[in-house]
Amino acid sequence: MSKKPPHDAQDKEARRVIERVERESEVLGRSSFVRAAGKARDHLTAAEAEGDDAAELWGRRVGRALSVVAFIVLAAWLFAYLTR
């Protein structure tokens, strides 16, 4: 009879645990990215707006889109200013 050394069983268990952690961390990382992208989309489309007032809904959407454009312009200006 040949007995397996105890470290072989430990190695096998350690590899199984590491593989499981890798699988779960990939799923967790992707889900947090998807969740953040969904929150950004909901924010920009004013999904939290209450009521049926179309002017308020589109006002929020336009305002938020303009703030994104302003941020990009200011970031580009700052980058150009600092790299002179």
Mean pLDDT for the stretch of residues 46-62: 86
Return the structure tokens found at 36.
């953040």
Tell if the pTM clears 0.75, that is, is over it: no
pLDDT of 28: 59
Q: Spell out the residues 6+ positions from residue 42 whose beta carbon is closer than 8 angstroms to its own.
A: 48
